[in-house]
C-alpha cells in the first residue's frame, strides 16, 4: 500500500519526467519539491512505488520514470486540471468564431486543439442517424451537372454533384426538386435513406426526362444519407507524431495507420468511459487491444441537439495530462455552446 507521501512523490516524478524527459532521481525531487524530508526517505518512497509497479528504472541510472500504471494512478487520483489562461481561451474563441457550417466548425475545432496541446487532435462527428432532413435544394451548374444540397435539423449540410442525362430548364429542375423533396424532406436520416432506396426500386421504370433526372438526384441523396449515418473523425496535427517520435518506446507506424484507417480510433474513443466531468483517458497498454499500446488518448464529450460525441487528443504516454484534459474539456464546452446557439437560432 502506497503512503500519501508516496503518492505525492509519484506526482512529482510524473510532472518532472513530462517536463524534462529525463529519469527522475531522489535528489532532484528533494531539490525541486518541498517535501521536507531527506533524499534517503524519498528513495524509500520510490522503492515502494517501484514495488507497486508505478515507476520503473529505464536503465542502470538512479532515476525512475512512470509506468503506464503510474500514469493511470496519476490521472485518476493526483492530476489537477490546470485552468486555461485568458490568452488560450481567447485563442479558442478566435479559432471557432463565425464558422461556415458544421464541417467547417469541426475542422476549426481540431486545428484549435492541436495548437493548444501539440498533440494529434480528434473530433467525432455526432451520429446523424436520428437527425431529420429539413431542406433539399438543387442548383443547375450548367450542362448535365446539378448541385444537390441537403440540410438536417442539427446543422449538417451536404453538397454533392449529380449528373443528369440532359440539361434541365428551371421549370424541370423545380419539378425534380419537389419530387425528391417529397420523398426525403421531413424524415429522419435513417428513414429518408430507406425511402430513397424504395423509390428508386419502385418509381422510375418508365422514365421521362424529369424521371431520369429525379432518379439521378435521388441516388445521390440516398448515398449522402447513408454517409450521414456513418461514424467518422476529423483530425489535425498528425505531423506532431513525427516531431515527438522519441517520446514513443517503439514505432509510430501503428498510430499513423490508425489515423489513416479511422475505424480503430473510432472504436477506441467510443469505448472510453468518462468520469463525472465527462472526461476520459486511455493510457498506454490499456490501448493494446486496439494495437496502440504506445499511445494515450484523452477525451471529453460534447453535445449537439442532445446527440453526444467525443473530442480528444492522441499522443505519447509521456504527455501533460492535466493541461491536455483541461484543453479538451474547454474546447468541448465551447463547441457544445456554439452548437446549442446554432440550434436555438433555427
pLDDT digits (tens, 9 = 90+) for 157-189: 889 999 988 899 999 999 999 999 999 999 988
Decide whether 4-78 matches 86-126+232-344 in CATH topology. no
Least-confidence region, from 2-11, 18-27, 110-119, 238-247? 238-247
CATH class of domain segment(s) 133-228: alpha beta
Domain parsing of the chain, residue ranges:
4-78, 86-126+232-344, 133-228
Question: Using CA atoms, how far apart are residues 202 and 200, in angstroms rounded to an integer?
Answer: 6
At 316-329, the pLDDT tens digits run 999 999 999 999 99
pLDDT at 206 over 70: no
Among candidates 207, 259, 266, which has minimal Cα distance to 238? Answer: 259
At residue 205 the predicted structure's pLDDT band, cuts being 50, 70 and 90, is low
Task: List the alpha helices (DSSP H) in the chain.
Answer: 4-20, 26-32, 39-51, 68-73, 86-96, 102-117, 170-184, 189-202, 209-228, 239-243, 253-261, 263-271, 321-344
pTM for the full predicted model: 0.77
pLDDT at 270 over 80: yes
pLDDT at 300 over 90: yes
Phi, psi at residue 317, to the nearest 5°?
-60, -30
At 220-238, the pLDDT tens digits run 999 988 877 667 889 999 9
| CATH code at 4-78 | 1.10.10.10
What's the chain's average pLDDT? 89
Q: Give the pLDDT of residue 306.
A: 64
pLDDT at 155 over 90: no
For cell 435513406, name the residue: 193
Please give the CATH architecture assigned to the domain spanning 86-126+232-344.
Answer: 2-Layer Sandwich (3.30)
Amino acid at each position: 500500500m502506497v503512503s500519501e507521501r508516496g503518492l505525492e512523490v509519484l506526482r512529482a516524478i510524473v510532472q518532472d519526467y513530462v517536463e524534462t524527459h529525463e529519469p527522475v532521481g531522489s535528489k532532484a525531487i528533494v531539490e525541486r519539491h518541498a517535501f521536507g524530508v531527506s533524499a534517503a526517505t524519498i528513495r524509500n518512497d520510490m522503492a515502494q512505488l517501484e514495488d507497486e509497479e508505478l515507476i520503473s528504472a529505464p536503465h542502470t541510472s538512479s532515476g525512475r520514470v512512470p509506468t503506464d500504471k503510474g500514469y493511470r494512478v496519476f490521472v485518476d487520483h493526483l492530476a489537477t486540471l490546470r485552468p486555461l489562461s485568458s490568452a488560450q481561451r481567447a485563442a479558442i474563441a478566435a479559432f471557432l468564431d463565425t464558422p461556415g457550417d458544421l464541417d467547417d466548425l469541426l475542422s476549426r475545432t481540431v486545428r484549435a486543439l492541436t495548437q493548444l496541446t501539440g498533440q494529434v487532435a480528434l473530433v467525432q462527428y455526432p451520429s446523424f442517424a436520428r437527425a431529420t432532413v429539413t431542406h433539399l435544394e438543387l442548383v443547375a451548374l450548367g450542362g448535365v451537372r446539378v448541385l444537390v444540397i441537403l440540410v438536417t435539423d442539427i446543422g449538417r449540410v451536404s453538397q454533392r454533384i449529380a449528373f443528369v442525362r440532359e440539361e434541365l430548364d428551371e421549370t424541370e429542375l423545380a419539378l425534380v426538386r419537389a419530387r425528391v423533396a417529397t420523398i426525403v424532406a421531413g424524415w429522419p436520416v435513417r428513414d429518408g435513406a430507406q425511402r430513397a432506396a424504395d423509390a428508386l426500386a419502385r418509381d422510375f421504370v418508365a422514365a421521362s426526362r424529369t424521371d431520369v433526372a429525379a432518379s439521378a438526384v435521388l441516388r445521390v441523396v440516398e448515398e449522402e444519407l447513408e454517409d450521414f449515418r456513418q461514424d467518422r473523425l476529423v483530425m489535425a496535427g498528425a505531423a506532431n507524431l513525427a516531431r515527438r517520435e522519441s517520446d514513443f518506446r517503439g514505432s509510430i507506424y501503428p498510430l499513423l495507420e490508425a489515423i489513416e484507417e479511422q475505424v480503430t480510433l473510432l472504436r477506441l474513443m467510443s469505448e472510453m468511459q468518462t468520469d463525472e466531468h465527462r472526461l476520459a483517458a486511455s493510457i498506454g497498454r490499456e490501448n493494446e487491444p486496439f494495437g496502440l499500446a504506445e499511445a494515450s488518448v484523452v477525451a471529453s464529450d460534447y453535445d449537439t441537439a442532445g446527440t453526444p460525441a467525443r473530442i480528444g487528443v492522441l499522443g505519447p504516454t509521456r504527455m501533460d495530462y492535466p493541461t491536455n484534459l483541461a484543453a479538451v474539456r474547454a474546447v468541448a464546452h465551447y463547441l457544445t455552446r456554439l452548437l446549442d446557439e446554432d440550434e436555438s437560432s433555427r
